[in-house]
Copies of this chain bind each other. A is one copy, B any other.
Amino acid sequence: MSSNNYYDVTTWPVGNPSEDVGEVINSIIADIKDRQAVADANSGGKPGAVIYIPPGDYHLRTQVVIDVSFLSIHGSGHGFTSSSIRFNVPEDEWPDLHELWPGGSRILVDIPLGGDGEESKGAAFYVERSGSPRISSVEFSNFCIDGLHFTPDGSGMHPENTYVNGKTGIYVANANDSFRVTGMGFVYLENALTIYNADALSVHDNFIAECGSCIELRGWGQASKITDNLVGAGFKGHSIYAENHGGLLITANNVFPRGASSVHLDGVTRSSVTNNRLHSFYPGMVILAANSSENLVATNHFLRDHEPWTPFLGVDNGLDDLYGLLCVSGSNNSVVGNHFSEIIDAQSIRPAGATPVVIRLMAGVGNFVSNNHVVAMDVHSKSSDSCFSAQVDALLTTEASDALAVTAVMVDSESARNTILDSGSDAQVIADRAVNAFRATPTVGSQAAHALVAQ
C-alpha cells in the first residue's frame, strides 16, 4: 500500500514482528502521532491509521499501548482452534496432530507478568487516554490473540484447564466512544476483552472461547451492542458481563459452556438480552443482579445440561439448583417468550431431592414473566473422553425416560408485585398469589373448565 497511513507489521523497519510485535506496533503508533502533530499544525485533521497483521505467528512481549483515535488493527484470520482439546490429548499423540496451535494472524501473548498482579499489566493491547474527547473509533478486526497456556491455580487441576494466567487480550481503561471489535479470535486468555466506560461500542461476529472471561463491560456505559458472537468462557468466568450499562443490546449470540454464567448483568438498566442461544452446564445462566431493572429478556433459548467431557467432570460454578437458570434481582424487567430446557440427572440435583428452579425472582418488584416454556427431563448423564462427540451426543439426546419436576417460576418473598403469565402450571409456580399476579399455563384439565366460561 502506498498511503502513509497504512502500516504492515512485517515491513515496518523498527523491531522484529515475529519476536515482539508489541514493540513494532508501539513504534508504528509513535510514528502516527509524530506525523499527526505535523499534520495537525496544517489542517487540524488526525485521521488515524490502519495496522495490518498478515497471517503469521507474532510473539508479543511488549504491551501495546493505544492512545490515538481512529486506529484500526486488522488481520486476515481469527485463527481459532481448540487448545483445550489439544492440551487434554496425551502428549505422545501430539506428533500425530495436524497442528498444535491456533493460527491466522496470531498474536502470541508472552508478556512477563509483573509481580504486583495488576490486571491491566497482563493485557496484550492496552487502551488508555484521559482528557477530552474520549478516545474514539479504535477498531480491532480479524486477528487472533492467543494466551498460549493456563497456569496452576492451586487446586491441583491440570494447569492447562484452570483458565488462569493473568493475561488479557484487549483492555480499555478509559471512557471510549464508537469502538469496534469484529471478526476477532480470542483463546486461552484469562480475560479476552475488558472494556471500561463504553459508549456505542460494537462487539460483533467474534469467536471468543476457551478464555476465563470473554466479554466484560465494566464501569458504566451506554448504547452498545454485543451481537452475533460465538462465546464460551471458563467455569470461573463470565461469557458476557456488563455493569452499570444502559441501553445495551445483547442479541444473536451463541453462548456455549462452560462459563460460570452465560450473561451476567450487574446494575444494568433498560437493556436487551434477546434472541440468544445460551448453553450452560450449571445454574445461574442469566443473572440480573444488583437492581438490574427494566430489561427485556426475550426469545432466548436456554439449555442447561451436564458437563460431558471427562477432564471437567465434577467442576461447577458453586450454585445449586434452586438458584434458577435465570435469576432476577431487580425491578420491572420483562421475561417473555423464552424456551428453557433443563436436561439433568435427577441424582445430581443439589440440594439432593430439591426441585430445580428455572426462573427465580429473588428481589425487586414489577417484573413481567410471560409465555416462557419450560422443558425438563431426567437423563442418565454420560461422559466421554472426546469433547466434541460428547457434546454433540448430549445435545442431540432427547430420549429421556422421565419428565423431571421443576419449579418453573419461584418468587422470593423479597420480590413482589410481579406478573407471571403462562409460564408454568399452578403447581410449577411458587409465588405468593396475594402479592403477585398470576395466570397458570392452561393444562388439559384446566382449559376445559376455562373454555366453558370464556367462550
Contact = CB atoms under 8 A, between A and B. Distances in A.
A455 B437 contact: no
Contact of A277 (B80, B220, B247, B455): B247
Contact of A76 (B72, B209, B298, B337): B72
Interface in A418-433: 419, 421-422, 426, 433
Interface string A22-47: 00000000000000000000011111
Contact of A56 (B47, B175, B247, B294): B47
A436 B447 CA distance: 9
B10 A132 contact: no
Interface residues of A, number: 156
The copy count of this chain in the complex is: 3
Given A332-B375, A441-B437, A46 B252 contact: no
Given A76-B72, A396-B220, A81 B137 contact: yes
Nearest to A36: B99
A72 B79 CA distance: 9
A315 interface: no
A414 to B, nearest CB: 17
A194 interface: no
Contact of A46 (B99, B249, B337, B417): B99
Contact of A207 (B178, B370, B397): B178
A103 B373 contact: no
Given A55-B47, A204-B205, A375-B332, A447 B422 contact: no
A421 B267 CA distance: 31
Interface stretch (A152-160, A222-230, A348-356): A222-230
Interface string A442-455: 11101111110111
B97 A133 contact: yes
Contacts of A337: 298-299, 334, 336-337, 370-371
Interface in A30-74: 43-50, 52, 54-57, 69-70, 72, 74
A48 B137 contact: no
Contacts of A421: 371, 422, 441-442
A401 interface: no
Contacts of A57: 43, 45, 47
A336 B373 contact: yes
A6 B442 CA distance: 62
A1 B75 CA distance: 12
B294 A45 contact: no
A86 to B, nearest CB: 6
Contacts of A404: none
A327 to B, nearest CB: 18
A183 B79 CA distance: 18
A78 B171 CA distance: 21
A396 B135 contact: no
Interface string A265-308: 00101111011110100000000000101111011010100000
Contacts of A46: 98-101, 103
A122 interface: no
Contact of A224 (B224, B254, B291, B368): B254
Contacts of A433: 444, 447-448, 451
A137 B209 CA distance: 13
Contacts of A80: 136-137, 177-178, 200
A381 interface: no
Nearest to A221: B392
Contacts of A190: none
Contacts of A209: 200
Contacts of A317: none
A218 interface: no
A76 B51 CA distance: 9
A439 B444 contact: no
A455 B446 contact: yes
Contacts of A6: 54-55, 76
26 contacts: A46-B99, A47-B77, A70-B81, A77-B137, A77-B139, A80-B137, A80-B200, A96-B131, A102-B137, A200-B230, A202-B207, A222-B392, A223-B279, A225-B277, A247-B254, A247-B303, A248-B277, A252-B252, A269-B398, A294-B375, A299-B336, A417-B444, A437-B446, A446-B455, A449-B453, A453-B453
